[in-house]
Structure 1
Amino acid sequence: MKTWLILVTALCLAAALAPFVQAQEKKPLTEKSTIESIEKMQRLGNDKASDDKQAKVYVVPVRDDIMPPILYVIRRGVKDAMEAKADCLILDMETNGGRVDITEDIFDIIGKFPGETVTYVNKDAYSAGAFIAVATQKIYMAEQSVIGAAAPIMMGPTGGVSEMPSTMEVKINSAIRAKIRTQAEKNGYAKDVIEAMVDKTKKLERDSKVLCAEGDILTLTNLEAEAKYGEAKTPLLSSGTVKSIDALIKELGYAGAQRVDVQPLGAEELGTWINAISPLLLLIGIIGLYIEFKTPGFGVFGAIGIAALVVYFFGGYVSGLAGIEWVGIFTLGVVLVAVELFWLSGTLIIGMVGVACMLVALVMGMTDIYPNMPLFPTGGGKGDSMPQVEGIDFHDLGKAFSKPIGDLTIAFALSIPVIWALAKYLPHTAFFANFASEAASGVESVAALAAEVDSRLGQVGEAITPLHPGGKAMFGDDMCTVVTQGEMIAVGAHVKVIGHRGSDLLVIEA
């Protein structure tokens, strides 16, 4: 018995000590072996991706000045790539630069893509183009391509370049350098190289060779950008020169991957104008639908309102902000409100759900949300009860919702006095009566409807639905749509007609 216990104890001790003995026998990892191991794992990962499932590479063209239309293309391309769970995103770049604020937005958009990000400088990446390239993890260049010359300039009123005051130049350069340093540090680029592209007071040297003298702005050819310096032979900026996007995909280890080229819609410039007038579009939509609900049949006001809202949602789609599905949510809301008004008056809940659907659709149709991201915080942050989530920035909700909520607030604020004026004065004008009659597609005219309403003044009927405050009431053999002055009236109560609001009879409890 004792011999059996001794053997079991010895086996347990041997099993427990085995990992420690093996750990002592392993050689410590050197920096070189660590880098080689990482590169090997990346190659194996890419090979596995091609074996288990076909890898996906999305190519987004950056073929114009860095202005809102290019922002829309990049945003839509990144969201499409995230939706497809792409492995790599390539920016096919040829640009002379553009606006700094748009460039900063593009930094944030690129940072949301979870896979590998690469810039292919396809001839030119000047100014803001160079900044965006630094925001990606790798830079490759085409033959005889150029990158750099990223000093900020100020455009004059006529579109030409104006001289920037010295104080403003120092201030702007400082702010831009800080933002670019952040991107360079994140992606492993040499900060002094990037700063030499922005600040002409910086001098760039490598291996006792002056690459950019003080007073000059750094601009690199593809050969200069890929030149290696120092004992570690580190490339100055570029990872190499390749002849084409297909060659780049192969160089990155995605041979055989599915390539998807994001195509501009051709309406991005239009989207810029639509977003600028979105409060006006909302105002037209609200007023148009209000007038349509208050007039018989379907006429020109309803068509104008619907057209304005369709253009509003189209602007969000072109801008890459939201999908077309929010149009369906808004349509559902309109249908529910119509059911509440015309068929099931007084239920309230149907109308409230419909209004909620419409408001949510109007806000979300212009809100920048990314696919495959949680809509709400999912865990605790480091010393922070509200962690950063890439789908929406919960530290600054105003950043995500400020534009749609602001547009909606402006539209509602302007619509209140307009609707009040329309409800008080326009129904009594001959112009409105004739116009609405022609737009009603052959149904009863507004003038005739007004005459019928006036003939019911003083009549007493019975509420057949709860009036909260709208509902239905019977006057003799006629069922009419009625509305109170705000009070709630129960089913079966007697009501008296004292006036009208549009086509609805205004009643009080008799």
Structure 2
Amino acid sequence: MRCHWRINGSETLMFGNIVRSLGLILLFGASPLSGWAQEPEAKPPAAEKPAAATAVVIPLHGEITPLTGAFLDRKLEEAREMGVDVVIIDIDSPGGFADVSFDIARRLRDLKWAKTVAYVEDQAISGAAIAALGCDEIIMRPGAMLGDAGVIAQEILGGPFKYAPEKILSKMVADIREVADAGGRPPALAEAMMHKDVQVFQATHKQDGRVWYYTKAEWDSLPDAEDWEQGKPVMEARENTFLTVTGKRAVELQIANGLADSKTELYEQLGIAKEPKVLAQTGIDTLVWVLNLPLITFLLFVIGLLAIFIEFSAPGLGMGGLVSTLCFGLFFWSRFLGGTSGWLEVTLFAVGLIFIACEIFVIPGFGVPGISGFLLVLGSLVMASRNVVWPESTRDLMQLNKTLATVGASMIAFVVLAMVGSRYLLDFPLFRRIALLPPEVDDQAAAVAVGTAYSASNRPAAWEQVDVGDAGIATSPLRPAGKAAFGDELVDVITEGEFVEAGKGVKIVQKHGTRVVVRSTT
């Protein structure tokens, strides 16, 4: 650290007066004490050593995804509660989602309660380089690599990747320049990481010898260009090249703040005496990652929808309700911690289920409530799996297609399994116990009527033989769906919401195709 001292005229005069006064004191005080042995001078009190910094290490490894951003947020909050002085982001990543990388960079840039240090032991490429620029300091191993933040896009799903068009690139270049400038790093070099056609050269201030880096556009618009001497171009920022540098070169270019061959050396440089705690992935973090896998998401959807189907077939909070609650609870919980869902998606899902239930049990016919409920459920599942509602890039579009494919495949699988289950489910003893089966009738005439209704395969369906106004008897509890006998016909019916016990009289009040709505007459 340099200390600049300034002594003006008044301060010099004061300093001279003090010296002269001290001289008089020594002059008049030395003679009487000349025969005495001088006492040793008292040692000045030792300066207090600064307290050793406390720190934590948060690993940022592998591809950067929305799960990475949510994981980092949780660990930063944990570090804040610990009250540490330094947060070390241990980066070893090839990059990933650009929007998540910028979110991480801004989160680290705006962090005020601790010093943030990015340590690059191997690589911080693409989005990982963007995240590193958000830290207060960047420390690298001499041979580690940083840079190559070029933005690529896929115009057609399944097609080749191409460099992003200027419309997308311009905004991201402005963002990376802003992040670099906030950290005191040359914005021109940050731009060269992302823009392959930007050339950067070194400039030296003629008066104080400061070295900085400018693009040609910056140099042409520099207000004090005459105070600077333009030097050689930066070799790593030549045309058709994304700037990528080693740790040693990054320090020379003022991108990194220092070098450390190991974490031990890094801790010594930062004044950290005690081995920092590593806030690595916990079992909960691993579970969240597993639950966000497309295959697991597909299984949660299918099992949850089948459980709802079973619950609606046998009303009351039974096995179906518990299983569906567990499946969709795990789905939304994992999306909450994954950073892609909030209470809006949960609310839309719940409202959608209510609409579907109203359509089945309350409002006759398949109309607005049923369609609206289905769309709300579908929309909530898609929204909960994404960090942006509308795709803003090709990667977002690909993620949307993947999410729609997962939801669509689960819907198809549910329909197929529901159809098969409706036919063969009663063959399983477990489901036979919870199914609504017609009770055994003691009356031989009624039994003959029921048998005739089932055996007459050449006759029209039972629901075609009844009409509005027909009276009959409930042969099973109607809760609110069940069966009722109308003469010789045994018909699947549903009430308007009321529960009717078996053996009670009912009357048909509405008929919509195969849907027969009845009302109790007793």
- Which TM-score band applies after superposition, normalised by the shorter structure? 0.5 to 0.7
Distance 2:272 2:239 in 1: 41
**Which of 263, 266, 285 is matched with 1:248 structurally?**
266
Check the 8 A contact 2:300/2:328 in 1, yes or no.
no
In structure 1, what is the equivalent of residue 243 of structure 2? 218
Q: What are structure 2's unaligned runs of at least 5 residues?
A: 1-9, 13-46, 205-230, 366-420, 441-473, 479-495, 499-503, 508-518
Check the 8 A contact 2:140/2:260 in 1, yes or no.
yes
Distance 2:124 2:255 in 1: 13
In structure 2, what is the equivalent of residue 389 of structure 1? none
Identity, in percent, stands at 21
In structure 2, what is the equivalent of residue 60 of structure 1? 58
- Does 2:67 align with 1:48? no
In structure 2, what is the equivalent of residue 307 of structure 1? 326
Distance 2:255 2:346 in 1: 43
- Compared CA separation, residues 439 and 223, structure 1 to 2 (3 A): same
Residue 108 of structure 1 and its aligned partner are, at CA, apart by 4.4
> SS of the residue aligned with 1:122?
strand
- Compared CA separation, residues 68 and 46, structure 1 to 2 (3 A): farther
Residue 216 of structure 1 and its aligned partner are, at CA, apart by 3.1
Distance 1:201 1:279 in 2: 47
Letter in structure 2 aligned against 1:196: A
Check the 8 A contact 1:76/1:319 in 2, yes or no.
no
Letter in structure 2 aligned against 1:118: V
> SS of the residue aligned with 1:196?
helix
Distance 2:357 2:497 in 1: 22
| 1:367-404 per-position Cα deviation (integer Å, ceiling 9, x unaligned) | 4xxxxxxxxxxxxxxxxxxxxxxxxxxxxxxxxxxxx4
**Which of 247, 251, 256 is matched with 1:238 structurally?**
256
Output aligned runs, 1:16-415, within 5 Å: 47-48=50-51, 55=54, 57-111=55-109, 113=111, 114-155=113-154, 161-164=160-163, 169-206=165-202, 207=204, 208-211=231-234, 212-227=237-252, 236-256=254-274, 258-263=276-281, 265-267=285-287, 268=289, 270-271=291-292, 273=294, 284=305, 287=308, 291=312, 294-295=315-316, 298-299=318-319, 301-316=320-335, 318-319=337-338, 366-367=341-342, 404-410=343-349, 412-413=351-352, 415=354
Distance 2:127 2:170 in 1: 15
Check the 8 A contact 2:117/2:139 in 1, yes or no.
yes
Check the 8 A contact 2:193/2:243 in 1, yes or no.
yes
- Compared CA separation, residues 307 and 176, structure 1 to 2 (3 A): same
Distance 1:436 1:415 in 2: 31
Distance 1:60 1:159 in 2: 35
> SS of the residue aligned with 2:264?
helix
Distance 1:421 1:445 in 2: 17
Q: What are structure 1's unaligned runs of at least 5 residues?
A: 1-23, 27-43, 228-234, 322-365, 368-403, 455-482, 486-495, 500-505
Residue 250 of structure 1 and its aligned partner are, at CA, apart by 2.5
Distance 1:413 1:178 in 2: 42
Distance 1:443 1:277 in 2: 26
Residue 277 of structure 1 and its aligned partner are, at CA, apart by 7.2
Letter in structure 2 aligned against 1:58: V
Letter in structure 1 aligned against 2:201: E
Q: Provide TM-score, normalisation by structure 2.
A: 0.51
- Compared CA separation, residues 90 and 213, structure 1 to 2 (3 A): same
Distance 1:236 1:101 in 2: 25
Residue 431 of structure 1 and its aligned partner are, at CA, apart by 5.8
Q: CA RMSD in A?
A: 4.8
Letter in structure 2 aligned against 1:202: V
Aligned pair count? 330
Q: Provide TM-score, normalisation by structure 1.
A: 0.52
- Compared CA separation, residues 203 and 78, structure 1 to 2 (3 A): same
- Compared CA separation, residues 162 and 442, structure 1 to 2 (3 A): closer
Letter in structure 2 aligned against 1:70: T
- Compared CA separation, residues 95 and 63, structure 1 to 2 (3 A): same
> SS of the residue aligned with 2:92?
strand
In structure 1, what is the equivalent of residue 355 of structure 2? 416
Residue 252 of structure 1 and its aligned partner are, at CA, apart by 1.5
Check the 8 A contact 1:58/1:260 in 2, yes or no.
yes
> SS of the residue aligned with 2:143?
coil
> SS of the residue aligned with 2:151?
coil
Check the 8 A contact 1:134/1:184 in 2, yes or no.
yes
In structure 2, what is the equivalent of residue 502 of structure 1? none
> SS of the residue aligned with 1:237?
coil
